[in-house]
């Protein structure tokens, strides 16, 4: 059944299907943001409802995943601000497990080609700052290889340089990131203690 918008226009079944096809991806990103399955379900559902409700704002030819992720991110931020304004009362017994801060390798996100900032928004602040602090050529190579999953050949074409230059920039950029994020990784138990 097609639902009517505020303007009396009907959504196409194709649009509804496209939104529904991305529910798993929305849930995975929501889980990464909320770190709570129930909150992630609510966030993903709210995102889908808003997308369907405001379908008339979607421009044909726009990358729907990026559009949905923008709605999800904005919804998460608004919910976070709303919750931050009211006090939270929690009774702890001392038996609760600490929440994991490890990145979720199952979260898949494919950004719009023209907006790499969407990718960086999914990173923790410390990681985002470390990536942004890299020299331009290293940062671009690392983002294209490790976040956009591009091949060396694609990176070389985009950066207008040789494959060897791409490999060198990636090696040096990743080395700088390892150095800058060592304490971050150690705090999250992503690396072991160094032995003297």
Cα separation values, 53 from 4, 57, 61, 73, 122, Å: 8, 9, 19, 17, 25
Which one, of 109, 137, 113, 144, lies nearest residue 123 by Cα?
109
Examine the pLDDT at 182 and tell me if it is beyond 60. yes
The encoded tokens of residue 175 equal 């080395």
Each domain of the chain, given as residue ranges in start order, spans 1-96+104-111, 123-190
| C-alpha span between 163 and 111 (Å, rounded) | 24
Instruction: Give 42-60 pLDDT, tens digit per residue.
Output: 999 999 998 888 888 887 7
The pLDDT assigned to 99 comes to: 57
Q: What CATH number does the domain located at 1-96+104-111 have?
A: 1.10.1740.10
pLDDT per position as a tens digit, 81-101: 676 666 656 666 656 555 555
Mean pLDDT of 22-32: 89
Average pLDDT over residues 20-24: 89
| Pair of tokens at residue 190 | 């992503």
How far apart are the C-alpha atoms of 77 and 90, rounded to whole Å? 22
Measured between alpha carbons, how far is 16 from 35 in angstroms, rounded to an integer?
Answer: 27
Class of domain 123-190: mainly alpha
Instruction: Over range 31-38, report the average pLDDT.
Output: 88
Average pLDDT over residues 73-84: 78
Q: What is the pLDDT of residues 153-169, one digit of tens each?
A: 998 998 999 989 999 99
What's the pLDDT at 1? 37
Task: Report which listed range, 88-102, 105-119, 141-155, is most confident.
Answer: 141-155
Taking CB atoms within 8 Å and a gap of at least 24, the contacts of 71-77 are 71/47, 72/26, 72/29, 72/30, 72/33, 72/43, 72/44, 72/47, 73/33, 73/121, 75/43, 75/46, 75/47, 75/50, 76/30, 76/33, 76/34, 76/43
Interval 126-142: pLDDT, tens? 888 888 899 999 988 98
Nearest to 137 by CA among 115, 156, 111, 113: 156
Q: Mutual orientation of helices 125-132 and 163-180 as an angle, nearest 10°?
A: 140
Residue 4, pLDDT score = 43
Most confident by average pLDDT, 8-22, 85-99, 172-186: 172-186
């Amino acid at each position: 059944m097609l639902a009517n918008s505020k303007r009396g226009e009907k959504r196409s079944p194709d649009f509804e299907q496209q939104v529904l096809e991305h529910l798993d991806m929305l849930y995975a990103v929501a889980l990464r943001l909320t770190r709570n399955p129930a909150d992630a379900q609510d966030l993903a559902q709210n995102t889908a409802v808003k997308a369907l409700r405001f379908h008339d704002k979607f421009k044909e030819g726009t990358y729907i995943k990026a559009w949905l992720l923008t709605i999800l991110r904005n919804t998460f931020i608004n919910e976070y601000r709303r919750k931050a304004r009211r006090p939270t009362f929690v009774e702890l017994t001392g038996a609760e497990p600490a929440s994991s801060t490890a990145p979720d390798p199952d979260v898949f996100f494919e950004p719009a080609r023209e907006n790499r900032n969407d990718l960086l928004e999914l990173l923790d602040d410390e990681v985002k700052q470390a990536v942004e602090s890299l020299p331009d050529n290293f940062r671009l190579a690392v983002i294209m290889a490790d976040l956009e999953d591009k091949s060396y050949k694609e990176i070389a074409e985009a950066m207008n340089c040789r494959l060897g230059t791409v490999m060198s920039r990636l090696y040096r950029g990743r080395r700088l990131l390892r150095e800058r994020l060592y304490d971050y990784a150690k705090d999250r138990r992503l690396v072991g203690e160094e032995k003297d």
